[in-house]
Amino acid sequence: MTRQRLLLILISVSLLLAGLGLIFLPKPDSVAKKDTQKSNAGAKLRVDVDKLQVNGLRVVGLAPGQERDQLRSLTVVNRPSPDWEEGLLSTFRAQGGQAIKQMNLKKVDSFVWIHDGLALFVESVIVSLKSDQNRETTFRVLVDAQNGKILQHWDQPIVESGNPRENFRIKLDPRNHEE
């Protein structure tokens, strides 16, 4: 009988805690709405519904057929800042350290990107990195226009050695392979 009582008490306490958690924990939608209202306080947005633009920038990610309705209820969660480039460069410096010899950023485009129901001012950038061994790589990134954080990246090439055989552990017989 003591086991049954203990089990009954354990079940009732866990149900009580789960019920309290459902009552007092904020809902994900209300948290997102509060954050967007806080971060967007005081921001003046010029929305051109006919041209599908916000502050003169095109909007990407609108649902087809619902563009005008989405623009009217649009809430942007960040503000463009001229410091985004320094934020991006500091990220590469922190990750690459002394191995990065040269970094170049080429801004391609600025626009408002709707992703997961949130609108962000973003920058499309081509990044070129050169290592201390003179190996160069170039790729594209989508960057938060406020702080320079990378949101997405693509076009990353595989950086390979000029002579792939130099790293083999087993030396190949040169009579069987022409250079």
Domain-located, residue 128: yes
pLDDT, mean of residues 56-60: 91
Q: Is residue 51 part of a domain?
A: no
Q: What is the mean pLDDT of residues 138-156?
A: 91
**Of the listed ranges 28-32, 57-61, 101-105, the one predicted with least confidence:** 28-32
In sequence order, which residues have a C-beta less than 8 Å from that of residue 149 and are 6 or more positions away? 87, 88, 91, 143
- Number of domains composing the chain: 1
Could you tell me if residue 148 is inside a domain? yes
Looking at per-residue pLDDT, the higher value among 93 and 166 belongs to: 93
Reduced 3-state DSSP string for the chain: CHHHHHHHHHHHHHHHHHHHHHHHCCCHHHHHHHHHHHHCCCCCCCEECCCCEECCEEEECCCCCCHHHHHHCCCECCCCCCCHHHHHHHHHHHHHHHHEEEEEEEEEEEEEEEECCEEEEEEEEEEEEEECCCCEEEEEEEEECCCCCEEEEECCCCCCCCCHHHHCCCCCCCCCCCC
Round the average pLDDT of the chain to a whole number and report it: 78
16 in a structural domain: no
Any domain includes 20: no
pTM over the 0.75 mark: no
Q: What is the pLDDT of residues 104-140, one digit of tens each?
A: 999 999 999 998 878 999 999 999 988 888 888 889 9
* Residue at 115 is within a domain: yes
Whichever domain contains 123, its CATH number is: 3.10.450
Per-residue confidence (pLDDT) for residue 29, from 0 to 100: 42
Is 154 inside any structural domain?
A: yes
Distance in angstroms (rounded) separating the CA atoms of residues 125 and 157: 16
Domain of residue 147: give its range: 84-159
Evaluate whether residue 47 is within a structural domain: no
